[in-house]
Amino acid sequence: MTQTATKPPLIRGEWFPMSWEEFLDWAPDGVQAEWVDGRGMIQVTTSERHVAVLLLLTRLVAGYVDLFGLGRVFAPPFLMRLEGRPSGREPDLMVVLNAHLNRVRRLWLEGPADFVVEGISESSVEIDLVEKLNEYGAGGVPEYLALETREGRDDTTLYRLDGDRVLRPVAPDPQGRLHSLVLPGFWFDPAWFRQDPLPDHHDLLYAIAGRDYDEWLAAKRRAWLAAQGGE
């Protein structure tokens, strides 16, 4: 008599041994989960501030990527599969440039995203700043942003890959702003994410892209009006 294998329970924060194929079958659609070293885990819940800060950054990055047609933005739950360790991570934000969109599968990205963001929470400090920093570097992620989401902390760091596949901190400019090379012209001030209340993403996009953003919005409005039969 053949026995049917029992799937591990869906317990947040606990790792269970399984293959990559078993993990894809086990993790429910719409639930954040990761697979590392032959083990799968359902992610723990996060704070309201963590969600709000990451939502602001996601709107900012997605708006900029759309503005200049740079590629696609992915938010969780969507996996990034790296072969080196191996692992299937779910970054808080990923940008895949147009040249690498052929890596996108139905449930995951095969290989490194071009720009990866993880929000630092109380439960993820060691994972984000040590484990994932090393893993993403070895896996070939060109830029990795560790975005601080904890109250009263100012540890946001942008890392860039060097020739030895090590992610090194990027120095801010004299105004304290961090600049991306992967997303040409994109920059941000980490102080934005410490404000209470958080700033409006449209205002920030105006600060970053200026007239380009203004003209893009105007073109979108004209196209919408034309589609409605307006002037």
Q: Domain containing 205 — which CATH number?
A: 3.90.1570.10
**69/156 same-domain check:** yes
In angstroms and rounded to an integer, the radius of gyration of the C-alpha atoms of the chain is 19
CA distances 77 to 5, 23, 115, 142, 192, Å, are 26, 14, 16, 21, 25
**33/129 same-domain check:** no
**Counted domains in the chain:** 2
The count of residues in the chain is 231
pLDDT at 2 over 50: no
In a domain, 229, yes or no: no
Contact (CB, 8 A) for 96 and 114:
yes
**106/137 same-domain check:** yes
Within 8 A by CB and 6+ apart from 112, the residues are 80, 82, 136, 139, 140, 141, 142
In a domain, 1, yes or no: no
In a domain, 231, yes or no: no
pLDDT at 4 over 90: no
> Element (H or E) spanning 41, and its range?
strand 39-42
**175/94 same-domain check:** yes
In a domain, 2, yes or no: no
**196/128 same-domain check:** yes
**61/129 same-domain check:** yes
Q: pTM for this one?
A: 0.90
In a domain, 134, yes or no: yes
**38/87 same-domain check:** no
- In degrees and rounded to multiples of 5, residue 112 shows phi and psi of -75, 140
In a domain, 150, yes or no: yes
pLDDT tens, position by position, 120-165: 998 889 999 999 999 999 999 999 999 999 988 889 999 999 999 9
Span of 1-10, 18-27, 57-66 with lowest mean pLDDT: 1-10
**57/131 same-domain check:** yes
In a domain, 192, yes or no: yes
**87/136 same-domain check:** yes
pLDDT tens, position by position, 15-44: 999 999 999 999 988 888 999 999 999 988
**98/171 same-domain check:** yes
**90/188 same-domain check:** yes
- Domain encompassing residue 69: 46-224
**139/176 same-domain check:** yes
Partner residues linked to 147 by β-bridges? 119
The neighbour count for residue 78, using CB atoms within 10 Å, is: 16
- Among candidates 87, 97, 102, which has minimal Cα distance to 37? 87
Using pLDDT thresholds of 50, 70 and 90, give the confidence band for residue 188: very high
pLDDT tens, position by position, 65-97: 999 999 999 999 999 999 888 999 999 999 999
In a domain, 3, yes or no: no
DSSP letter for 7, please: P
